[in-house]
Amino acid sequence: MIKILPILLIISLLIGCGGYKFSEVIEPLEKGQPEAAYTYLQKHAPKNPDIPFLFELGLIAHYANHFAESSTALDRAGDIAEDRYTKSVSKEVTSLVTSDKLRPYAGTRYERLLSHYYRALNYVYRGQLDGALVECRRATALINYFKAENEKYDFFGAGFLAYLSATLFEAAGEWNDAYISYKQAAEYYQNATEKTGVPIPDDIGNSLVRLTRKLGFIDEFERYRNQYGEPPPRPENTGELILFYESGYVPPKSEEALTFPILKIDDVEDEKFVPTLIGREGRVYKDVELEYLLRVAIPTIGSRRPHFAGIEGAVGQNQKRGALVADVESIAVETFNAERPIILLRTLVRAVAKYLGTRELRKQNEALGILGNLLGVITEQADTRSWKTLPNQIFVVRMPLPVGNHTLNLSFLNANGRVSRRESLPDIKINPNRITFLNYRTYE
């Protein structure tokens, strides 16, 4: 313990280092100046950028219309995440004696999936639909990997990526792939809806009916039509608009301080002690029973619902209310809740090890014991890393439109369904028998 005290001190200083201020990123974003946010991130890029920074850079570059640069950053984040999915033994050991912040961050499953959403749109906006389809297939392969790796895979984010893939395959005229993706999307939404609260979007059922009819799949067509009904007719010689509306921010992780009582009768060195300690969270004991109050820090996540909770799109008399296709907040909260027991266990194992070390130091030298305890507190920081600029919710507005240029009128709805703000997007070009994709973001 005495030999590693200087190392712990250095590590504690490293943990506190930061490369950029997040407030300097979101302030220009919210003012409609994504280029300024992008420039700031470029100027404050670390020498070896890690996954959280690359996620932020990729998303901000996307909003600033630097689509190639956005894909480059997101691709780098994806490559690092894939490499890290197999745990690094050395970093895992280090995290047990210092902090979870030194664990290699691999990104959550939903973060990795949503990166393919922005990568696919980057290709769409550059007029490279084939590249977007490659991203769809990569997202599908990642979902299949998650499913094979974990029998209890929760499908969070999978439904939206399958739905996105289906629309892009449809835009490319690859009808069979589109049908498969719509079918998978319905399954994934169904599997996750109990926890996320997001039902299967009506458009998926309508699309399954249309595509099975087009492909001549008679049995499937009859089954889906009985299940979802006849879809609305589509006028001949028109095009279609698909708008993805992104609202607010996903809630960030913050640090929560917890105390766990160590009693005088405890055998702290018993390997079964930490599970016993977990059961004492929130319990109160008499002072005469207490040997020590073990203080730890773990991440926590709350709710950060945006003011705008829905959208309506209108072109002339053609109006369509957006359907919720991804509740990122619910996904983030449920993902964290599933991980919390493991985080708490790992944190307590580390904290008990530090306590035993400082107790031994105290026996040898009181000053060293105090120093060891101080360093243990300093190095014990919660890992709050995440992709902070992700939206809170994503809606889709899908409507057939006549060929030509149109002004799309957007009405942003509050939680009561009332219009809180309006915006207009001019010069939306609709081509015959083609799909035009757009995404639009608000931050309130």
Instruction: Read off the tokens for 303.
Output: 């709710």
The domain ranges of the chain are 5-200+234-253+302-337+383-442, 201-233, 255-301+338-379
Write down the pLDDT at residue 90.
47
Inter-residue contact 154 to 195 (CB < 8 Å):
yes
- Tell me the sheet residues that pair with 298: 256
Task: Indicate the DSSP class of residue 230.
Answer: P
Q: What is the mean pLDDT of the chain?
A: 89
Instruction: Read off the tokens for 176.
Output: 């069979």
H or E stretch including 323? strand 323-327
Inter-residue contact 126 to 71 (CB < 8 Å):
no
Burial category of 152 from C-beta neighbours within 10 Å (exposed 0-12, middle 13-18, buried 19 and up): exposed
Amino acid code (one letter) for 65: N
Taking the C-alpha atoms of residue 28 and residue 380, their distance in angstroms, rounded to an integer, is 33
Taking the C-alpha atoms of residue 68 and residue 121, their distance in angstroms, rounded to an integer, is 11
Q: Is the pLDDT of residue 368 over 70?
A: no
The mean per-residue pLDDT over the stretch 264-276 comes to 88
What length does the chain have? 444
What angle, rounded to 10 degrees, do the helices at 5-15 and 366-379 form? Answer: 30
Inter-residue contact 399 to 249 (CB < 8 Å):
no
Least confident window among 45-59, 286-300, 315-329, 376-390: 376-390
| Beta strands per DSSP E along 119-266 | 238-247, 253-263
Taking residue 149's Cβ as centre, other Cβ atoms within 10 Å add up to: 10
Q: Which residues fall within 8 angstroms of residue 317, CB to CB, at 6 or more apart?
A: none
The mean per-residue pLDDT over the stretch 419-428 comes to 96
Q: Is the pLDDT of residue 10 over 90?
A: no
Q: How confident is the model at residue 13 (pLDDT cuts 50, 70, 90)?
A: very low
Taking the C-alpha atoms of residue 206 and residue 149, their distance in angstroms, rounded to an integer, is 32
Closest by CA position to 178, among listed 198, 153, 156, 208: 208
Write down the pLDDT at residue 18.
52
Sort residue 173 into left (φ over 0), alpha (ψ -120 to 50) or beta.
left
Q: State pLDDT tens for residues 153-206.
A: 999 999 999 999 999 999 999 999 999 999 999 999 999 998 898 999 999 999
Instruction: Report the percentage of the chain scoring pLDDT > 70.
Output: 88
Q: How confident is the model at residue 107 (pLDDT cuts 50, 70, 90)?
A: very high
pTM for the full model? 0.90
Task: Indicate the DSSP class of residue 380.
Answer: -
Write down the pLDDT at residue 20.
74
Taking residue 70's Cβ as centre, other Cβ atoms within 10 Å add up to: 25
Q: Which residues fall within 8 angstroms of residue 273, CB to CB, at 6 or more apart?
A: 266, 267, 352
R_g of the chain, CA atoms, integer Å: 25
Cα four-point dihedral sign 313, 241, 443, 185:
positive
Write down the pLDDT at residue 206.
96
Least confident window among 15-24, 339-348, 368-377: 368-377
Taking the C-alpha atoms of residue 358 and residue 13, their distance in angstroms, rounded to an integer, is 20
The mean per-residue pLDDT over the stretch 124-150 comes to 95
Q: Is the pLDDT of residue 414 over 80?
A: yes
Instruction: Report the percentage of the chain scoring pLDDT > 90.
Output: 69
- Would you list the DSSP string of 80-101? HHHHHTS--HHHHHHHHHS-GG
Superfamily of domain 5-200+234-253+302-337+383-442: Tetratricopeptide repeat domain (1.25.40.10)
The mean per-residue pLDDT over the stretch 52-67 comes to 97
Inter-residue contact 182 to 214 (CB < 8 Å):
no
The number of angstroms, rounded, from the C-alpha of 167 to the middle of its chain's C-alpha atoms is 21
Between residues 434 and 372, which one has the greater pLDDT?
434
Sort residue 406 into left (φ over 0), alpha (ψ -120 to 50) or beta.
beta
Q: What share of the chain is helix, strand, coil (3-state, %, to 5)?
A: 50, 20, 30
Write down the pLDDT at residue 375.
58
Instruction: Read off the tokens for 3.
Output: 């030999």
The mean per-residue pLDDT over the stretch 402-406 comes to 95
